[in-house]
Amino acid sequence: MEKFDFVLLAAGQGKRLRPITNSYPKTMVRILDKPLLEWIVEGIAGAFGDSVGRILIVVGFERHKITEYFQKHPAMQKIVFVEQKEQKGTADAVLQAEKLVESDRFFVLNADTFFDPKFFELLKRNADSQPFLIAKREEDASAYGVVEVEGGNLVGLVEKPLEATNKLISTGTLFMPRQFFEYLKNVKVSKRNEYEITDALSDFASKQKLRVLEFDSYWTDVGYYWNYIAASEYALQNLMEPKIEGKVEDFVVVKGKLRVGKGSVVKSGTYIEGNVFIGENTIVGPSAYLRKGVVIEDNCHIGNSTEVKSSIIMHNSNAAHLSYIGDSIICENVNFGAGTKIANLKFDHSAISIKQEAGKVASGRDKLGAVVGKNTKTGINVSINCGVLIGENCKISPAAYVYNNLENDAVFKG
């Protein structure tokens, strides 16, 4: 039986996701309380079984967060960590694994993406064919590498064109022969001062056939926090199995799918519209309102008359009294004072943008809340505006209105 090695690119920080990724790599962002990277490792193991040779994980930023997490993972016997000491681009990242790839043909995957598990079936089904690239059709492809195809084969790649609608984009997933490493070595530094794998692919495709296979199910680059929310909602709807391991008290209304972890309690009077994921040792209610698209991780408290919609609330965070959290990400160890609310809709219903170091970014969404970084605390009756990014370790005074981004360690009095 032929075995295949897998090179997983997990070295980047994910700067567009800050402050979520201030302290750990983007590949460790969690969907249903499981890191993106773990979804991929388990997907490979499940689909390929004994055909898996090595799983080579290229690490960089906060690499110990990845290596420590996987030390006790069942797939660890197949995993080898490779360090990319400097962030020099995707071509350089793949090259770090060259000496450790043992199979004649190998896979490359970006480990900061999320997709339906059918993706792995597509890989396995075509692993006996010629080299290929997996593409996905996107309505707005301007932020990706757009794939040009003739006769089912790659003829060109255009990196992040200014305008591209309803185009095929590269998912960064490849099935290549070992000789591809020679093409990677010939890549020149780009205008972005990086060694781009797209240049190696264009060179390879000019000399031999590189099939383009289109994936027609769910796939997303978890680039911005609204992509993160959307990925979470997809997983809740399509991948989560309903299961009650904790306690749901009498007089709780549940509609849609619900998962409750061990040691968790959903108290009387709570109304759950689903789909909702509740982790372990978490208390919800009494009389809380959880609308669809909600993930609440371990050791949280969502209390009396607090309403949550389409949001992710991470470990050890609390909104115990009279809060509203909509279309938002609440990071670890955050505490909301009573009456803290996050706006998620403008008066004129216009699309919401966020401000980042590189400039203003349009979300394309008319409903979008905020990101609150870990260890941040708010006083009572704090209001947070749409599209605001609040850093880590912030302290926000009672009755303050947060209308702009806050840097880490800010003390904001309003």
User: What is the fold of 4-223?
Assistant: Spore Coat Polysaccharide Biosynthesis Protein SpsA; Chain A (3.90.550)
Superfamily of domain 236-412: Hexapeptide repeat proteins (2.160.10.10)
Label residue 151 by pLDDT band (50, 70, 90). Answer: confident
Give the SS3 label for residue 183.
helix
Return residue ranges of the chain for CATH 2.160.10.10. 236-412
Q: Phi and psi at residue 64, in whole multiples of 5°?
A: -65, -25
Label residue 194 by pLDDT band (50, 70, 90). Answer: confident
pLDDT reading at 183 higher than 80: yes
Comparing 303 with 137, the larger pLDDT belongs to: 303
- Give the single-character DSSP code of 23: S
> Of the residues 64, 301, 315, 321, which is catalytic?
321
Closest to 320 (Cα-Cα) out of 334, 341, 306: 306
**CA distances for 58 relative to 14, 80, 93, 351, angstroms:** 15, 9, 7, 37
| % the chain with pLDDT above 90 | 66
Contact 75, 27 (CB under 8 A): no
CA distance 47 to 68: 25
Alpha helices in 163-318 (DSSP H): 180-185, 197-207, 225-238
Return residue ranges of the chain for CATH 3.90.550.10. 4-223
pLDDT tens for 300-358 read 999 999 999 999 999 999 999 999 999 999 999 999 999 999 999 988 899 989 998 87
Tokens of 300: 């949280």
Q: Phi and psi at residue 372, in whole multiples of 5°?
A: -115, 115
Q: Catalytic: 321?
A: yes
